[in-house]
Amino acid sequence: ALIRGWYRVPVKPGRYPAIMQVQGYSSVMVPSYVNYGDDVIGFGLNIRGHGNSTDDVNPGFPGYILTNLEDKEKYIYRGAYMDCVRAVDFLCSRPEVDASCIAVEGASQGGALTFATAALNNDRIAVCAPQVPFLSDFRDYFRVANWPGNEFIELVEQKKALTWDQAYYTLSYFDIKNLAHMIKAPLLMGVGLMDEVCPPHINFAAYNLVTAEKKYIVYPSAGHGLPDHFYNAKIEWIREKLGLK
């Protein structure tokens, strides 16, 4: 699939650390999201079916998360995770990128993609910072949150397109808690205790299985959107880990 992103490079020639941002479900990545400063490269990825990456794969919303669920080899997130891997390939291919200093961060679906990117590129990602991560602990997730479980209920119980066992079998390959043990990079996670979209329960299901250096910041009154404090703390932490002042 053809995918695109926004690549922001400092004006002054040289080699720089890079921060890659991956996006939330159905959101559109734009250049302003990756303005991390004049001493670091920013790369905002639009995975397949999002933003300006809809040429070849564009199932739309709602329904994106159900696309090809019956086959783990063709499931939409197999491609989306590979988009993230190829994005890291791109960064490592650029002469201006210090390939030993690549970070990945994102919220919600972007939090899940951050987990997946750090796990599947564990020899190339130096730092990762997921926020309210999605795509985790699906059986419990569907019990404690209305969406996206309601879309799966319609597909399985009403349309009879496949069984629950088949659905969970496919999802198990893309559940970030099953990838978490592969992460080697230091990890910072942000959590909102009032989050009804990606409840803290599913965030910690993945976090608890990370064996690398890790820490989290919890906001007791925050929902799916965390306060600016986390954004600022996250960027400060990433910069410190990348050796930036």
What's the angle, vertex CA 130, arms to CA 220 and CA 232, rounded to 5?
70
Report if residue 180 sits inside a domain. yes
- The total of structural domains in the chain comes to 1
Containing domain of residue 225, as a range?
Answer: 4-60+73-135+176-241
- What pLDDT shows up at residue 173? 99
- Does residue 16 lie within any of the structural domains? yes
Q: Is residue 233 part of a domain?
A: yes
Would you say residue 163 lies in a domain? no
Is 140 a known active-site residue? Answer: no
Q: Which helix (H) or strand (E) holds 214?
A: strand 214-219
The answer to whether 93 is a known catalytic residue is no
Has residue 210 been placed in a domain? Answer: yes
195 is catalytic: yes
pTM of the model as a whole: 0.98
At 105, list the tokens. 């961060």
Tell me how far apart the alpha carbons of residues 201 and 194 are, in angstroms, rounded to a whole number.
11
The verdict on residue 145 lying in a domain is no
Cα–Cα distance list, 38 to 91, 136, 237 (Å): 17, 35, 17
- Among residues 26, 27, 39, 224, the one annotated as catalytic is 224
Q: What is the dihedral of CA 141, 142, 143, 147, to 10 degrees?
A: 100
**From the centroid of its chain, how far is CA 220?**
22
Is the CB of residue 115 less than 8 Å from the CB of residue 206? yes
Cα distances (angstroms) measured from residue 103 to each of 23, 39, 176 = 14, 14, 18
The residue annotated as part of the active site, out of 50, 53, 83, 108, is: 108
Residue 100: count other Cβ atoms within 10 Å of its Cβ.
12
Measure the CA–CA gap between 170 and 131, rounded to whole angstroms. 24
Q: Is residue 164 part of a domain?
A: no
So what's the pLDDT on residue 245? 80
Q: Indicate the SS3 state at residue 180.
A: helix
Torsion sign (Cα): 166, 209, 215, 219: positive
Q: Is residue 165 part of a domain?
A: no
In this prediction, the residues of the chain whose per-residue pLDDT falls under 50 are: none
Fill in the DSSP letter of residue 95.
T
**Which pair of structure tokens corresponds to residue 59?**
């199932």
> What kind and span of H or E run contains 48?
none
CATH number, domain containing residue 35: 3.40.50.1820
Pairing outcome for strands 41-46 and 4-8: antiparallel
Q: How far is CA 59 from CA 45, 49, 76, 83, 200, in A?
A: 18, 7, 9, 16, 28
pLDDT in the model for residue 133: 99
